[in-house]
Amino acid sequence: MATIKKEDCACPRRQKPKCSHKPYRVSYREPGGRSGKPRQVSFKKLEDAEAFAVKVERDKDLGTYINPKAGQRTFASIWEEWVSAGTLEESSRVNYASVYKNHYHGFFGGRAIASINPEMINAWEADQTERGYAVNGISVRRNILSSVFNYAVSTEIIGRNPCKKANPRRNRENTTSTPVTDEDIPSTSEVMAIVAEAPKVIRAGFWAMAGCGTRPGESLAISDESMEWEAGILTVDHQVSAYGCQEISGYRRGVKRGTKHRAFSEARKTPVPESIVQIFSDHVDAFGVWGDRQWFFESPRRNEHHPSYDWFLDQFKAAAKAAGTPAYTPKSFRHYFVSEAIHSEIPLFEIAAWVGHRTTRTTELVYGHLLRKAMTRGARTMESRLGLRLEPFKGLIVPPSLVPSDGDVEDWDDVA
């Protein structure tokens, strides 16, 4: 059992309330009986010592005991441990380092992780809002923060995740995926106008986004080897990236195996319309291919190198501006692809697999308003079918009566 002992200090009585000494010492053993390591924790007030003594014994009984000294480690040290514990790619590590420096270091970095409570999480979020950051960005960074605390809980550094107690109602309302609106989705004529303004050498990459749902980096990594020409299927297993490309290209920038959320062994497949197959074929005839996989796109500045991701984005921005639709981005073409797929009543799980979403939940969150419209269309379609077919039966279908009529009483008596 935990015991409390008072060890008086030598300070004058009038100074004791303000002195730095902690006279109440709680002595206990860690779980394991006599083999448990003896511990001592000091407190300024008796009520705090008594509360701790009760809690530590209860935690030992429940199997939830946490060494208090572990919680004195700084948030900064736990962050570094969390980042190192995962299997993050170099690009992700660079991004996380930037996020920590700009959003966490000043607020949490030097604090003991056990001292961070829900009120501090709310204060941090309020500070983010005052600094002008968007709600969605704050939500993403809050989820990262929660992941760090979850790690600390799982490694028995702290007992609870303070993010889970911080304003839970608003936390449920926020999502990490920004819902798409009608204004975010270009029409077919707008897609064609943007492609028409793009350099011919990269138009096939734009069509891949709109017609196959690929991301910009995935579009730049299309090759003859990734195409099943007769079946009209594209295997998406590479991407052009600014980081982590040493394995193939020999540089940080270039092409890498695997795509977002998927390793190379988990490559996804997406259908290629006949018209896009022809566009790909025409591109190969006009510009040729290069490299071991017969890549479609080559850097305009360096032979046998992939175009840079930034160059691709610059070409899209210029084309969208020339087409009179400067608000659109390459992601708008993916929105177009998913929108058309939903309107065509393709099952959601297939759409999610084609575009590389981890689960259909992501597709539902991002394209929720399109799904609601699809529900309405489905109801109207069934009404038109059933309404017409039920017309001859009107008056013949009578709902059952819950109370027997006078003529039915004898029948009921017979049954009884």
C-alpha 253/C-alpha 247 separation (Å) is 11
In tens, the pLDDT along 225-248 reads: 999 999 999 999 998 876 555 455
In tens digits, what is the pLDDT along the chain, a chain of 416 residues? 778 888 888 888 778 778 888 888 888 777 666 667 787 888 888 888 888 787 777 766 655 555 667 788 899 999 998 888 766 667 777 888 889 999 999 999 999 988 888 888 988 988 998 888 888 888 889 988 988 988 888 877 887 788 876 654 444 444 456 788 889 999 999 999 999 999 999 999 999 999 999 999 999 999 999 999 999 999 999 988 765 554 555 555 677 777 776 666 778 999 999 999 999 999 999 999 999 999 999 998 888 889 988 899 999 999 999 999 999 999 999 999 999 998 888 888 899 999 988 788 888 888 877 777 766 666 666 666 665 555 555 555 555 555 555 554 454 445 44
Residue type, 26: V
Residue given tokens 């087409």 in the structure block: 323
The CATH code of domain 182-366 reads 1.10.443.10
Q: Beta-carbon neighbour count of residue 236 at 10 Å?
A: 26
Give backbone dihedrals phi and psi of 290, rounded to 5 degrees, phi first: -150, 165
Structure tokens at 338: 């998913």
Residue type, 238: H
- Residue 174: the pLDDT is 45
Residue 323 vs residues 91, 195, 311: alpha-carbon distances, Å: 33, 9, 18
- Residue 391: the pLDDT is 58
Whether residue 298 contacts residue 306, with contact meaning beta carbons closer than 8 Å, is answered with yes
- Residue 68: the pLDDT is 67
- Residue 82: the pLDDT is 87
Residue 82 vs residues 69, 102, 144, 148, 150: alpha-carbon distances, Å: 18, 18, 11, 6, 10
Would you list the DSSP string of 193-225? HHHHHS-GGGHHHHHHHHHH---HHHHHT-BTT
- Residue 84: the pLDDT is 83
In the chain, residues under CATH classification 1.10.443.10 are 182-366
Structure tokens at 319: 């084309």
CATH class of 72-173: mainly alpha
In the chain, residues under CATH classification 1.10.150.130 are 72-173
Per the document, the length of the chain is 416
Whether residue 26 contacts residue 3, with contact meaning beta carbons closer than 8 Å, is answered with yes
- Residue 415: the pLDDT is 46
Whether residue 114 contacts residue 71, with contact meaning beta carbons closer than 8 Å, is answered with yes
Instruction: Give the list of residues 6+ apart from residue 40 with CB closer than 8 angstroms, or none.
Output: 25, 26, 27, 28
- Residue 416: the pLDDT is 44
C-alpha 186/C-alpha 195 separation (Å) is 12
pTM of the full predicted structure? 0.54
Q: Is 153 exposed, middle or buried (0-12, 13-18, 19+ CB in 10 A)?
A: middle
